[in-house]
């Protein structure tokens, strides 16, 4: 099997592709994989570090407002289609798979024009502009959420889940708990500030820290992200005492194992992250970032909330009081917590990478 993967701009587009690459190699170690992305995107670094062959095209996204820059974008798109055709031909691809971001537009379109099977994967509940454009050309459209299906041609859509879910589903939760050194019997609340853009979560949680000691039945694991770790630890030193049911880390290298032992999580609402927590059935308090394109995160979070799998707090609603109330409501009542856990599991697709791989195989053999 010779597969071209493409997608980029954010980790939410790149990591599902890498999870799929891993699945392909597990099924067929002799498979050849080429990743086409932007030389200026995150994928240029991440993909090559993963040991996958990488080729770059020059492309930019359309501006949502009328602009002369869009004329330049059309020119770059046509040029990128031409280069993509050359790369596809030289690689002799059996199939092209796009996971979102404007970089996959010319690659998937070029494959369509060359009559090569194509599959696009949509991670978010509300599709991005590129996948909406490609939906008329793609052979198959895989979606993470059933709520996405109505935005695409019905005959092309298959609900697979997000391949990232497969990465965490088989993680060892016992080893994860042991690594955290948590007292026996305490439920784990994981707070993920992230490496960037989580100032609101940091502020609210730091203000809540003095009240954590009252919640001895819980242990709070706070992952600040490298960027915020120094500031957070300096703030904590200003307190009279640091609760013994709080652990603070800049980063966790065994995050899948920690997720597998988590009872409640507080985080943003990126699509890959939601795939991971629903595959494990983790109840969540979601604080969507208001700074992402098309407000994707709030729409993702609301989908989980409507299905009883999460509680959503918008940034303007977030402070230590609303956060602590949400924690007490969700984990203080065991019945409510169990109901949310089951609801999250129903939305999860732990075998997502396998499902996407099977769709690819079917297209190639058609």
Q: Which residues are annotated as a binding site?
A: 10-12, 124, 195, 297
The count of C-alpha atoms lying within 13 angstroms of the C-alpha of 140, restricted to the half-sphere facing its C-beta, is: 23
DSSP classification of residue 251: -
Sole residue written with tokens 């059309």: 74
Residues of the binding site for UDP-N-acetyl-alpha-D-glucosamine:
10-12, 124, 195, 297
- Is residue 340 helix, strand or coil? helix
**DSSP H or E run through 164:** helix 164-169
Sheet with 118-122, edge to edge strand ranges: 53-57, 32-38, 2-6, 95-98, 118-122, 140-143, 157-159
SS3 label, residue 252:
coil
Tokens of 76: 């770059």
Spatial separation of the C-alpha atoms in residues 300 and 76, rounded to whole Å: 31
Tokens read off for 261? 């032992």
Which residue is associated with the tokens 């809540």?
208
Complete DSSP assignment for 266-316: EE---HHHHHHHHHHT--EEE---TTSGGGHHHHHHHHHHHTTSEEE--GG
Helices (H), 183-264: 199-208, 226-237, 255-259
Distance CA 157, CA 167 (A): 23
DSSP character for 31?
-
Report residue 169: phi and psi, to 5°: -60, -35
Cα separation, 35 vs 55, whole angstroms: 6
Nearest to 137 by CA among 160, 150, 118, 122: 118
Query: Which of 244, 254, 178 lies closest to 223, judged by CA?
Result: 254
């Amino acid at each position: 099997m010779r597969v071209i993967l493409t997608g980029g701009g954010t980790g939410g587009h790149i990591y599902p592709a890498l999870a799929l690459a891993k699945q392909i190699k597990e099924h067929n170690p002799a498979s050849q994989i080429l990743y086409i992305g932007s030389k200026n995107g995150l994928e240029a670094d991440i993909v090559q570090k993963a040991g996958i062959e990488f080729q770059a095209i020059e492309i930019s996204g359309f501006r949502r407002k009328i602009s002369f820059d869009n004329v330049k974008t059309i020119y770059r798109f046509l040029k990128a289609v031409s280069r993509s055709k050359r790369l596809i031909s030289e690689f002799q691809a059996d199939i092209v798979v796009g996971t979102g971001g404007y970089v996959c537009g010319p690659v998937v379109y070029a494959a369509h024009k060359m009559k090569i099977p194509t599959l696009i994967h949509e991670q978010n509940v509300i599709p991005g502009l590129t996948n909406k454009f490609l939906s008329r050309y793609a052979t198959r459209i895989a979606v993470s959420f059933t709520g996405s299906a109505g935005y695409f041609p019905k005959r092309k859509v298959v609900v697979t889940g997000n391949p990232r879910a497969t990465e965490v589903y088989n993680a060892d939760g016992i080893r994860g708990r042991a690594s955290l050194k948590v007292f026996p019997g305490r439920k784990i609340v994981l707070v993920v500030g992230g490496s960037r853009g989580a100032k609101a979560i940091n502020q609210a949680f730091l203000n809540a820290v003095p009240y954590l000691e009252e919640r001895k039945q819980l242990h709070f694991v706070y992952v600040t992200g490298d960027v915020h770790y120094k500031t957070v630890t300096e703030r904590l030193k200003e307190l009279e005492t640091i609760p013994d049911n709080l652990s603070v880390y800049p980063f966790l290298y065994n995050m899948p194992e920690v997720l597998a032992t988590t009872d409640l999580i507080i985080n943003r609402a990126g699509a890959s992250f939601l795939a991971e927590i629903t595959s494990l059935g983790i109840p969540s308090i979601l604080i969507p970032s208001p700074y992402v394109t098309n407000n994707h995160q709030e729409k993702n979070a609301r989908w989980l909330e409507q299905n009883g799998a999460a509680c959503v707090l918008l940034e303007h609603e977030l402070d230590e009081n609303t956060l602590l109330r949400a924690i007490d409501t969700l984990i203080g009542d065991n019945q409510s917590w169990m109901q949310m856990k089951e609801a999250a599991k129903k939305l999860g697709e732990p075998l997502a990478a396998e499902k996407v791989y099977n769709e690819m195989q079917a297209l190639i053999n058609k």
